[in-house]
Amino acid sequence: MIPVSRPSMGKEELEAVGKVFETGWLGLGSTVLEFENKLKEYTGAKNAIAVTNGTAALHIALDGFGVGPGDEVIVPSLTFAATIQAILAVGATPVFCEVMPQTLNVDIKDVENRVTPRTKAIMPVHYCGNACDMDALLKIADARGIKIIEDAAHAFGTVYKGKKIGGFGHCACFSFDAIKNITCGEGGAVLLPDDAIAEKIRRKRVLGIDKDTWARYQNKRLWFYEVVDTGYRYHMSNINAAIGLVQFGKLDKFLARKREITKNYDAAFQNMASVLPLENDHENTAQFCYILRVVKERDAFMEFLKERGAATGVHYIPNHEQPVFKRFAKGPLPVTELLGAQICTLPLTPDMTDADVRTVVDAVTDFDKSRR
Ligand SMILES: *Cc1c(COP(=O)(O)O)cnc(C)c1O
């Protein structure tokens, strides 16, 4: 079965982990600092804070910006549950907004309509890696003192108007979990320009302790520390950072291959009656996943592809339909609900062979023919 997603790893990653073992320093240390520096260098971000995972990045970013009880956060219903859970974890209220059918990115007009005096943040998701209209979002936000905290989990490597996602704006959160554009095994990062909030997030990452372990180690009074803020145990470990650093060296190759497959898919799926490709920006997008809209009979489509040896998935089920988030839904979201019933994720991995790609394309083509 051709998987929907799978990390691409080699013995290089294993060797890098082995080197960390030899140093005896497994937790937060110089390898994490190296990974953060690499993130800054690659994106152009002023500050980068590496954490345990993307969900932790979203949570600690919201906390760092002071989002809390009584505040509203505008967020697409169509996203991974992590985005919503991060909002609830700081005690704020998610306000679900619509997405656009062409890209699954937030509908700017709908976002604007949902702003209230209590709106503290907007969390756009760069779906599949295609960038949201950041200029429009920042304009809405800056006029009202609202923060844009990007869920950039899909968009590591994406370029928006000549700038890397994470290298501009108020704050971008990345994930380096097993299937993202690069992986640390598990990992995440918060990138932002504001030094004071970065410092606050850095402290919160290690239980609100004023200096991270590495800095304390270099201090003369080894035992001294002060707890100056609330916080978490969210720091990345040297083990995970070592994997990420090796993956960094492969990123361009990964993205080039995924771009090539995306172009192939997009060309093959034009003018089909039963499926609609999204509008993928081949030039600027670091394509994370490949999503099609199956106009009807999605279950049959997924079953058909399975029988032909290609796995599929659904990313994502609308959150306002989820048992625990339902209570935040204020009325229907017709576009999201329609898309939620149509979207289907096809295999897209750097290690797919041309034959794998052909298997997927042929299966979709045959499904379309069978429905004419
Ligand atoms: C992966 C992902 C996250 C969470 O990242 P983890 O590292 O898995 O915690 C958040 N939002 C989106 C859209 C994601 O795809």
Q: pLDDT for 118-129, tens place per residue?
A: 999 999 999 999
Q: Residue 56 CA: which ligand 1 atom is closest?
A: 9
pLDDT computed for residue 225 by the predictor: 82
260-286, pLDDT tens digit by residue?
999 999 999 999 999 999 999 999 999
> Same structural domain for residues 276 and 228?
no
Residue 19 lies in a domain: yes
Domain check: are 277 and 186 in the same one?
A: no
> Does one domain contain both 220 and 255?
no
Burial of 8 (0-12, 13-18, 19+ CB in 10 A): middle
Does 151 contact ligand 1 (Cβ within 6 A)?
A: yes
Does 1 map to a domain?
no
CATH of the domain at 307: 3.90.1150.10
Total domain count, the chain: 2
Does one domain contain both 77 and 180?
A: yes
Distance 173 CA to ligand 1 centre (A): 9
Same domain, 237 and 296: no
C-alpha 76 to ligand 1 mean position (Å): 14
Could you list the residue range(s) of the whole structural domain that residue 286 is in? 251-370
What tokens appear for 144 in the block?
């009202």
Q: Which atom of ligand 1 is nearest to the CA of 180?
A: 1
Q: How confident is the model at residue 217 (pLDDT cuts 50, 70, 90)?
A: low
Please work out whether the CB of residue 53 comes within 6 Å of at least one atom of ligand 1.
yes
Q: What is the mean pLDDT of residues 53-80?
A: 98
Q: Does residue 5 sit within a domain?
A: no
What element of type H or E holds 48?
strand 47-51
* H helices present in 219-353, as ranges: 238-248, 251-268, 298-307, 334-342
Catalytic residues: 180
Mean pLDDT, range 49-64, rounded to an integer: 98
The confidence band for 219, taking pLDDT boundaries of 50, 70 and 90, is low
Q: Residue type for 365, please?
A: T
Cα–Cα distance, 168 to 163 (Å, whole number): 7
Same domain, yes or no, for 242 and 255? no
pLDDT at 216: 60
Same-domain check for residues 213 and 92: yes
pLDDT of residue 264: 98
**How far does residue 186's CA lie from ligand 1's centre (Å)?**
10
Mean residue pLDDT of the chain comes to 96
Which residue's alpha carbon is nearest to atom 5 within ligand 1?
A: 54
CB 359 within 8 A of CB 309: yes
* pLDDT at residue 3 greater than cutoff 80: yes
pLDDT tens, residue by residue, 67-119: 999 999 999 999 999 999 999 999 999 999 999 999 999 999 999 999 999 99
